[in-house]
Structure 1
Amino acid sequence: MNYLKVFFLLICTSLLTLGCSSTQLVEQWKNPTVDTLYVSKILIVGMTPNLEARKEFEQLLKEEYTAKGIEAVMSLELFDPTFTTDKKSYAELKVIENILTANFFDAVLFTKVVGSKTQKTYSKTYRDKEYLDMPFQEDYYRHQEIYYNPKYYDEYKVYRAETSLYCICPTKDRELIWKGSIDIIDPSSIKKTVNDYVNLLILTLEQQQLFQ
């Protein structure tokens, strides 16, 4: 009977935690050729014009990876904040990728807000092989408008964020390992929203054996 009570208590606690969270995993895809991923050095990139949110997000993720014994570097540490002032060409992004491999990075965790839950296009993208074959360089290039269009988020109350985990190992093809879409529901504070997002992201990566 005691075990039964504990079981129901855990269920209730989980439901309460989900109810209080401002984030919800909507969709995810994992590369079927990858079972477990071990990372030694990872770059964390949060694409947002809100510098406070970007710093909070990258710092919290860095702490999570560091606690696992993985060297994690924030994009704000590697690049000057003015890095996003001008749009980058494919050639410039290729140079950046080469710099990362030369400095022994083997993965990039890239997060950006891509739109709202009501837009139907996002319900089909994970079934589109071309979308999943998109490398980090192309992914970053396509979404740079986030930095330069002040009206990009004006209509959105529920944000659709997307995180992609890329392998940039020099010994094999640079490829997408995992991609997940997470809805941010009626965000009220940067700190709480970032904390909820990171907690959900890490939990999901652990379940997929990609946070080792």
Structure 2
Amino acid sequence: MTPGNTPPAVDSGGEAPPPRRNRWCATTAWALRLGAVVVVTLLAYTSFMAYMLSCLVWPLLLVSFATTLYRRTARAALDFAVVVLCFAGLQGGFAYRHRQVEHEAAPVIAAVEDFQRAHGHYPKELSELPPSVWTALPNAAPNDLRWQGAGGAPCWYREPDERRKAYGITCVTFVFLKHTYDSERRRWYSWD
């Protein structure tokens, strides 16, 4: 036999070793996994509606992780790392979008506070604020107490009432996740 046509090596049990996995196939599988991490992260940073597309990516990652875990291969740990990276990208995207919402709402908060100092009470409607506040916000509808915030997140103003003496600003950042400014505590918080 020629050196290029050598038969497969036989181990001591008399059986041929399993065929080597196609290297291109393994590289493609990992490229797809890392691509999923990038897609999930970018969608989380982009906008509220864009992240909805990640519903297509998460099930594939979880099925891939479950099958490798079932087979008890070393690849399970790497698949788990991919899922963790996707989750970290998602959290980073949420934090980024929350900072955007806070930045966009800062002029509204300042105008509401100025109004309170000048009139002794908070406005009942945002249309009572100066028009300069609304020119900086996209799709502002001050009569409806709302505007379109960062990445398409709907935001609205909650006026004070008998139960709550302070106002609030709430933006829906993802499905049911809300990011709210509490004027009594002067801080933002997220809730579901």
Larger radius of gyration: 2
**1 or 2, which has the higher strand percentage?**
1
TM-score (norm 2): 0.24
User: Given the two structures, how large is their TM-score scaled by the length of structure 1?
Assistant: 0.22
Q: Which has the higher helix share?
A: 2
Q: Using CA pairs under 8 Å that are at least 6 residues apart, name the structure with larger relative contact order, 1 or 2.
A: 1
